[in-house]
Structure 1
Amino acid sequence: MPDNAPQSFSTTTDDVTLRGDHWPPADDAVSAQAPVLLLHGGGQTRHSWDRTAAALAARGRDVYTLDSRGHGDSDWAPHGDYALEAFVADLRAVLADLPSKPVIIGASLGGITGLCTVGEQPETAAALVMVDVVVNVEQQGIDRIKEFMTGHVDGFASLDDVADAIAAYNPERRRPKNLDGLRKNVRLHDDGRWYWHWDPAFIASGEGDEPRRHTDPARLAAAARTVIAPTLVVRGGKSDVVSDAGVDNMRELIPHAEIADVSGAGHMVAGDDNEVFAAAIEQFLDSHGL
């Protein structure tokens, strides 16, 4: 096994145990750079970051990927608590276990969890990267996410059906010929069907739409106004979740925020164009000496 192969870690909060992977620097030395914590979007798992984590570790960074509550290998919330405060409390617990302040990189739900945490407790992070999410997201894009997430809660008959559903949501991404990678995001149950590897209560909880049902826009706006850490908003050029108006609003809330546009990507930026995404991240980190 390579020296920098991912190693599992866990953090236990009041009600759940969170699990993730630690990707040590490729040179097996203690990195002088800030560690990186990658937070996935709603309905995803830490494995959505595998390529990004491997690339960052290969460049000498200490990297952590985390399954949020109700997702992947982390515990499901015992009382169906998937409100923003629960995700923020979980993140604070993980941050307390890290050796130093990390750069928080969060996609969608992970991004707004990071925003709230970094805004309300500025000392907890070295920098913040929000991936295709802003305080004011577009309802059309949110509706498509909701439709995709709720459309298959009864599972799939085969991995081919899983691939078909993903291709229908994101038709511009090439459908994989080898479907084994999908096993990281779905699980085969005793009834012979494949189910997403997240708690259905996550999308069924609360009022409104994902990601708004798991957020508090007023709280997020207030948090954004107090962010002092270097901040980057990475926008998918083909995203229907983040608009020009949403980006302009973020510039007003966080005047020092930088914007990177990955023109060939949709909402799933890292998966759509990981090479360009990783380059934007590295440029941002290097420019701030992180």
Structure 2
Amino acid sequence: MSGGALYGANVFANGIRQHYLRYGGFGSAVILIPGITSPAITWGFVAERLAERYDVYVLDVRGRGLSSTGPDLDYGLNAMAADVVGFATSLELPAPALLGHSMGARIAIRAAVAAPDAFSRLALIDPPVSGPGRRVYPSKLPWYVDSIRLALKGIDAEGMRAFCPTWTDEQLKLRAEWLHTCYEPAIVTAFEDFHKDDIFPDLPKLKQPAMLMVAGRGGVIETVDEDEARSLYPALEITRVPNAGHMIPWDDFDGFFAALGDFLSR
């Protein structure tokens, strides 16, 4: 558990065990939903800063970290979104904000559409905007699968550097320690869903204030995607972190928080 967390715990929600880390414990509630191969603990450095103002719950998405995993689970977007709704309901969180990164942002959108009264606002951090007939997601599946297989055998931070060359030693150590908990079939399903499940039709259904944060060097979201998103949801706020790749807070920690501003509590 990250040294800055209040505690780690498990809750049975939506039919599975969901593990989470809680930070801060005061202020309005924020549920942080990580990306495709990011267990909750790897977002601790972000959660610690958020915890200065918010009551932060960082999830281990099913098939990752210490949450339920294995061959019998559904790893599709709808199932993961239902987990978030169930999590908020089980802990009786009063209309928490959702902050989702990459896959986690897609989960946040789908959860907010499924339960519009359950969440107050959405911070969507560089979500994949691929889908049927759309531009492919710039990352390739072997990048994930190869690193997971090495982690299952045992890999150190230096070995992980080949996959994440710009990360700090501490970040690499955490990834090397926890990546083996990412269940390969869950990762493959989520990656394939980036191209099979189009998230754009969900945008007009949103009832909550929403922010889209774009990585200036990520290659995931382009201007044409921003324009389409705003046409579908005119109230969408769009911010940009010019000097960051897709893993925005890893690349530009201060830039991430500058772009986020006071959105979560506005």
TM-score by length of 1: 0.80
CA distance in 1, matches of 2:101, 2:140: 14
Q: 2:66: which partner in 1?
A: 73
Q: Percent identity?
A: 22
> CA distance change for structure 1 residues 246 and 9 in 2, over 3 Å: closer, same or farther?
same
How many residues are aligned here? Answer: 259
Q: Secondary structure at the match of 2:219?
A: coil
Decide whether aligned partners of structure 1 residues 119 and 210 sit closer, same or farther in structure 2, where only a CA change above 3 A counts.
closer
> What do the CA deviations read for 1:143-195 (whole angstroms, capped 9, x no partner)?
5242311233431553121222222xxxxx25527853334423xxxxxxxxx
**1:210, CA displacement in angstroms?**
5.2
Secondary structure of the structure 1 residue equivalent to 2:239: strand
| Alignment match, 1:47 | 41
Corresponding letter in the other structure for 1:149: Y
Q: Which letter does structure 1 place at the counterpart of 2:76?
A: A
Bigger CA radius of gyration: 1
Q: Does 1:237 align with 2:216?
A: yes
Matching residue of 1:209 = 192
What are the residue-to-residue correspondences of 1:71-220 with 2, within 5 Å?
71-96=64-89, 97-133=91-127, 135-136=129-130, 139-140=135-136, 142-156=137-151, 158-159=155-156, 160-167=158-165, 173-176=166-169, 179-186=172-179, 196-205=180-189, 209=192, 211-213=194-196, 216-217=197-198, 220=199
Question: What's the TM-score, normalizing by structure 2?
Answer: 0.87
CA contact (8 A) 1:118 1:227 kept: yes
- Give the letter aligned to residue 85 of structure 2: R
**In structure 2, distance between residues paired with 1:178 and 1:273:** 14
Deviation at 1:127, TM superposition (A): 0.4
Flag the 1:74–1:247 CA change in 2: closer, same or farther, 3 A: same
Q: Which letter does structure 1 place at the counterpart of 2:194?
A: P
For the aligned residue pairs, the C-alpha RMSD in angstroms reads 2.6
Name stretches of at least 5 consecutive residues in structure 1 with no aligned partner: 168-172, 187-195
Question: What is the CA distance between 1:270 and its match in structure 2?
Answer: 1.8
Counterparts of 2:106 and 2:75 in 1: how far apart (Å)? 13
Report the equivalent of 1:274: 253
**Partner SS state of residue 165, structure 1:** coil
- In the alignment, structure 1 residue 223 sits paired with structure 2 residue 202: yes
Residue in structure 1 matched with residue 11 of structure 2 by the alignment: 11
Distance 1:184 1:63, change over 3 A: farther
How far did 1:264 drift? Answer: 0.9
Unpaired runs of 5+ residues, structure 2, are: none
Over 3 Å counting, the alpha-carbon distance change for 1:205 and 1:257 in structure 2 is closer
CA distance in 1, matches of 2:170, 2:95: 40
Contact residue 20 and residue 59 of structure 2 kept, 8 A: yes
Q: Indicate how the Cα distance of structure 1 residues 197 and 139 shifts in structure 2: closer, same or farther if over 3 A, else same.
A: farther
